[in-house]
Amino acid sequence: MTPPDERLVLFEREIARQEDLIYGVALLFECLSVLHCEHSGIVETYRKQFRNVIQNGRSAIQSATAILAEAKSSPAAIRSLEAFRFSPCNDHPDPEGLTRRAEILVAAFNELFPGRPRSQEFTRDETMKLLEHAASVFES
């Protein structure tokens, strides 16, 4: 069995990974919006699909963060960490594909824009640079 302190660290890492996934989904929407900027129907379809994924992901992250705080203050609550399950991107028709694309986009973002705040908006050129870099990784 994993020691309680290690379980806390692992759970914190998983929360961070989930935050990256949600950010990656948002990046993918940004990229698709630029690619399909002349097709508002397509962009709106993506917006609806990704909005649900992002909202549910954020809700899961909030719940996990609360469980983590409880487990840190009460060792008896450690078991709730083991019972908690993330289900990233399950609200999308292709959860595994979306997860992979999100992970690639976050990695590309981290490579291309180290230290950049995630809240900072992208220019069209930056979005295209991100998309091109991610596409080269995705194809390999």
CA dihedral 50→51→55→58, nearest 10 degrees, is 50
Percentage of the chain with pLDDT > 70? 96
Name the residue ranges covered by the structural domains of the chain: 4-139
Query: What is the pLDDT at residue 2?
Result: 58
Q: Measure Cα distances from 46 to 13, 19, 65 in Å.
A: 28, 20, 28
List the one residue out of 68, 67, 60, 66 whose CA is nearest residue 86.
Answer: 60
Look at residue 92 in the predicted model and tell me its pLDDT.
82
Is residue 24 within 8 A of residue 105, CB to CB? The reply is yes
* pLDDT at residue 3, as a whole number: 65
Please state the pTM of the whole predicted model.
Answer: 0.89
